[in-house]
Amino acid sequence: MADALLRLDGLRKHYGGLAVTDGVTLDVLPGEIHAVIGPNGAGKTTTIKMCLGLTAPDAGRITAFGLDMPRDALAIKARLGVVAQMDTLDPDFNAEENLLVYGRYFGMKDAAIRARIEATVVRRAPQVMVKGMTNRSPFFSLPFMPEPVSTTSPMVSWPMMSPACIEGI
């Protein structure tokens, strides 16, 4: 069995006396896509915030790429990505210029950024890119997509869903 890219083991988070997450356990293996689905207040955002190192769990363990969160937070964050529901690209920059800016935010050297751009990017202005191109920058090993189907066609998003996602977690 392959090592998990992301492993959540018994995550618990309380706000006051309210258990927001209560023992969340999950392995995300290479090539898998998982969705966290539930009603408002179910702990979805809190779980994602813990995975991204933005909120510390009260109990449990998070590992990503074999590294421990929060101890190795910077190394993990260098490989994680968040694909926002709304794009945050600068409309005055083309795709290459936007990726240079974002790569620099993560401490990447221009040569490394340009090498990845050369391997992956179509050079277009954000205004002429389809929504999926502006929201799916190819920079990260493990993207987090808070609203994964909001900008994708159902023909694309439904086949990506795991049976557990479709049935409800």
Question: 146 Cβ partners below 8 Å, 6+ apart?
Answer: 45, 48, 82, 83, 84, 85
Confidence at residue 37, expressed as pLDDT on a 0 to 100 scale: 82
**Nearest of 51, 59, 65 to residue 14 by alpha carbon:** 59
Angle at 95 between CA 89 and CA 97, to 5 degrees: 85
Written as one letter, the residue type at 129 is M
| pLDDT score at 169 | 35
The per-residue pLDDT for 146 is: 53
Q: What is the pLDDT of residue 72?
A: 92
Its pTM stands at 0.60
User: DSSP letters along 73-122, please?
Assistant: HHHHHTTEEE--SS----TTS-HHHHHHHHHHHTT--HHHHHHHHHHH--
Question: What confidence score (pLDDT) does residue 50 get?
Answer: 93
Per-domain boundaries in the chain: 1-83+141-169, 86-135
- Return d(Cα 44, Cα 37) in angstroms, integer: 7
pLDDT for the residue numbered 166: 39
Per-residue pLDDT of the chain (169 residues), as tens digits, is 568 999 999 999 999 999 999 999 999 998 888 888 888 888 988 998 898 888 999 999 999 999 999 899 888 887 877 766 666 778 888 878 888 888 887 788 999 888 888 777 555 444 444 444 444 444 445 555 555 545 444 444 444 444 444 343 3
d(CA 77, CA 55): 13
> What is the pLDDT, as a whole number, of residue 153?
47
Q: For 1-83+141-169, which CATH superfamily applies?
A: P-loop containing nucleotide triphosphate hydrolases (3.40.50.300)
Contact call for residues 138 and 120 (beta carbons, < 8 A): yes
Q: Whose CA is closest to 52, among 139, 161, 136, 146?
A: 146
**35, 29 in Cβ contact below 8 A?**
no
